[in-house]
Structure 1
Amino acid sequence: MKSIQSFEIAIIGGSFSGLSAALSLVRSLRNIVVIDSGNPCNQNTPASHNFITHDGTNPKLIREKTISDLSKYPNFHSINGEVNSIEKSDKGFLLKGNGIPLLQADKIIFATGLKDVLPEIPGFAESWGKSILHCPYCHGYEVVGKTTGLWMNENGVFEHAKFLKHWAKEIKVYTNGPIQFSGEEEVKLKKEGVIFITEKVKTLIHDKGQLTSIQFVSGKESPLDVLYARVPMVQHSSLPESLGCKILPSGHLEVSNFYETNLPGVYAVGDMASIFRSVAHAVHSGNIAGAMLNRAMILS
């Protein structure tokens, strides 16, 4: 039988929220392990913004600096690998996976994040996080004044388009096919002066991820510098749900104000449990979860 490595807390996911929880916990004298597969959702993003002291810094560099800081604590451990099963045990949880030893943990923090489901259109994935953006707070300042579009075809498009006009005075909505939002939204868009284009898209023309235009199936092109996109999101990992964590209709995990799931001793942080997708919020949620988990362990 394989030997088991035991920890008080296993953090599954080693990006901003997971590492923030780790820092809170090692400073609370907890023996922890962070297991990370090295596939963060912002891996294509060249610069992180709207996060004090690191505005404009590459996310990879922030993670590397954080791991360097954590490595100074003797009770911090990290493993590069992927957890693919978690079983409840008498002592807590038994974790198994690819590239990792058999692990025993008293408590678990999920920090596995959400996965963006991108359209299978040439150029979309290559430009995602560079000139195809999800958040004006994160990247809007850098693209003010540029030819801007919104990739969206569902109710709520009017609100999104009007909101984005704060950063881009003119905006075009690309529906990639027949309109699927309500006639009321269509009327509001026209009154707001928003142009919407329903032609089917063939490809997004770009230069190393920087958009230059959208090419339609008809052969026509629409010049474009930046595209905000509302794309579907799913949980990056099925582990929380398979363990018994409750999933909300929005697709997020249900958590308390202190990021504990419906399962005692199991927490979830970052965008997997919140509508907010920013570095600042990820760090906040990890910090709170780590502190409150430690408090619960002390008082139990």
Structure 2
Amino acid sequence: METAKKYDVIIVGGSYAGLAVGLALGRALRKVLIIDSGKPCNRQTPHSHNFLTQDGTAPAQIASIAREQVLNYNTVNILHDRVVNTKKEGREFRVFTQSGESFAARKLVFATGIADIMPDIPSFAESWGKSVLHCPYCHGYEVRGQKTGILANGDSGYEFCMLIANWTSDLTLYTNSKSTLTQEQTAQLHKHKINIVEDEILKLDQTNGYLNSIQFKTGRAEPVTALYARLPFQQHCDIPLQLGCELTSDGYIKVDAAQKTSVSGVYACGDNVTRMRTVANAVSMGTTTGLMVNKELVEEEF
């Protein structure tokens, strides 16, 4: 096997968390390779919010500025490729990419995010991140006071209604099947004038990703401006699992306060470890990870 080019740290995933790791390590004089396939989960989202100095900026623009700043540090390289396999070789990790290249590093960081599993509802995926939303803190202000729906049922639907009611009084819960709410939950939602619709959804009517109405299998339709949904997900990259990294009961990569996984030398940060899916949180976690990785390298070297 040919000799692989060596780095102190290889970061798999070069969106906000991965770039923040790279920035912290670059400033710590570490030789770093960031490998990214260029498919962030928010690539359809037109604007990012709740990130100081960047509120309302397009996510792609934030990432572009971040890459430019990270590359100011000559010890950091960014490779547009996809990691397909890794192996532990002694005290190093060997990383193999789709293009056939391989690299080695003492530490690995996975900032690979998650992949949302879309329901089988026509036009849902096209509207995801634009008018079909996952987070009111990211998007609620922009659709405040407007006719809003929630696609959920049972305890999750009830809790989501409580949260979204802070942003609008024109709210409907769409269970897309028979309601599994308790009698008490149903009464409480009705008390707050939140409608419950059990009709099955046929499709979403949208224009360029922005909702006009929900069409039901009964032939009826209801106008709606925004629809919130919490989707099931899977890890965007299964390589951490192949290395032996543990997952939480919710399906996130299990990490400690220093962002260390259950596998020595392997770290993870960003959407793949937490349900708090914001750009600001990803950057914060990435910075912390960079500091902790460098600390471990210093302790090993000193």
TM-score, with structure 1 as normaliser: 0.97
Identity level (%): 38
Structure 1 match to 2:260? 260
Q: How far is 1:169 from its partner?
A: 1.1
Distance 1:32 1:256 in 2: 23
Distance 2:181 2:100 in 1: 46
Larger displacement relative to structure 2 (180-189 or 91-100): 180-189
Structure 2 match to 1:40? 40
Structure 1: gaps spanning 5 or more residues: none
Q: How far is 1:250 from its partner?
A: 0.8
Q: How far is 1:3 from its partner?
A: 4.3
Q: How far is 1:53 from its partner?
A: 0.6
- 1:151 corresponds to 2:151: yes
1:79-117 superposed Cα distances (whole Å, 9 cap, x missing partner): 111111111111311111212511111100000011111
1:44-86 superposed Cα distances (whole Å, 9 cap, x missing partner): 0000000011000000011111111111111111111111111
Summarize the Cα distance change of 1:79–1:28 in structure 2 as closer, same or farther, 3 Å threshold. Answer: same
Runs of 4+, deviation exceeding 3 Å: 180-184
Structure 2 match to 1:270? 270
Q: Would the aligned equivalents of 2:123 and 2:205 in 1 still touch at CA under 8 Å?
A: yes
Q: Would the aligned equivalents of 1:141 and 1:167 in 2 still touch at CA under 8 Å?
A: yes
- 1:287 corresponds to 2:282: no
Q: Would the aligned equivalents of 1:157 and 1:185 in 2 still touch at CA under 8 Å?
A: no
Q: How far is 1:293 from its partner?
A: 0.9
Distance 2:180 2:43 in 1: 32
Q: Would the aligned equivalents of 1:80 and 1:99 in 2 still touch at CA under 8 Å?
A: no
Amino acid at match of 1:126: E
Structural mapping, 1:108-119, within 5 Å: 108-119=108-119
Calculate the aligned-residue CA RMSD, in Å. 1.2
Distance 1:97 1:182 in 2: 50
1:2-48 superposed Cα distances (whole Å, 9 cap, x missing partner): 44121110100011000001000000000000111111010000000
Amino acid at match of 1:75: T
Distance 2:3 2:56 in 1: 44
Structure 2 match to 1:122? 122
Structure 2: gaps spanning 5 or more residues: none
Q: How far is 1:120 from its partner?
A: 1.8
Amino acid at match of 1:238: D
Q: Secondary structure at the match of 1:222?
A: strand
1:163-185 superposed Cα distances (whole Å, 9 cap, x missing partner): 10100112101111122344443
Q: Would the aligned equivalents of 2:255 and 2:268 in 1 still touch at CA under 8 Å?
A: yes
Q: How far is 1:273 from its partner?
A: 0.9
Q: Would the aligned equivalents of 1:124 and 1:132 in 2 still touch at CA under 8 Å?
A: yes
